[in-house]
Amino acid sequence: MLSLCANASAPEDAATTRALVASLGRPAPARTPFAEARFMKMLDKPLVVSGQLAWLGEDRLERSVEHPNREVSTIANGEVTQQREGRSTRSFSLKRAPQLQLLLDSFVALLGGDASRLEQAFVVEHHADGGGHWTLTLTPRDAKLAQTVSRIDIDGSGNEPHCMRMQEADGDVAIDLLGAYAAKMPDAPTRDALASLCGGG
Give per-residue pLDDT as tens, 66-84. 999 999 999 999 999 999 9
DSSP string, 141-178: SSHHHHTTEEEEEEEEETTEEEEEEEEETTS-EEEEEE
User: 90 pLDDT exceeds 70?
Assistant: yes
- The CA distance from 193 to 84, in Å, is 30
Q: Residue ranges of the domains in the chain?
A: 11-198
For residue 68, say if its preceding peptide bond is cis, omega within 30 degrees of 0.
yes
User: 1 pLDDT exceeds 90?
Assistant: no
Q: 34: helix, coil or strand?
A: strand
Under a CB-based contact definition with an 8 Å cutoff, are residues 55 and 107 in contact?
Answer: yes
- The CA distance from 177 to 33, in Å, is 8
User: 124 pLDDT exceeds 50?
Assistant: yes
User: 101 pLDDT exceeds 80?
Assistant: yes
User: 11 pLDDT exceeds 80?
Assistant: no
Q: How confident is the model at residue 9 (pLDDT cuts 50, 70, 90)?
A: very low
Count CB-CB contacts under 10 A for residue 75. 22
- The CA distance from 118 to 125, in Å, is 11
Q: Residue 5: what pLDDT?
A: 42
User: 50 pLDDT exceeds 60?
Assistant: yes
Q: Residue 2: what pLDDT?
A: 33
User: 127 pLDDT exceeds 70?
Assistant: yes
- Is 106 exposed, middle or buried, given 0-12, 13-18 or 19+ CB atoms closer than 10 A? buried
Q: How confident is the model at residue 201 (pLDDT cuts 50, 70, 90)?
A: low
Highest mean pLDDT among 12-26, 125-139, 167-181, 187-201: 167-181
Superfamily of domain 11-198: Lipoprotein localisation LolA/LolB/LppX (2.50.20.10)
Q: Residue 137: what pLDDT?
A: 95
Q: Which of 49, 72, 86, 199 is nearest to 132 (CA)?
A: 199
Q: What is the pLDDT of residues 152-184, one digit of tens each?
A: 999 999 999 999 999 999 999 999 999 999 999
Q: 197: helix, coil or strand?
A: helix
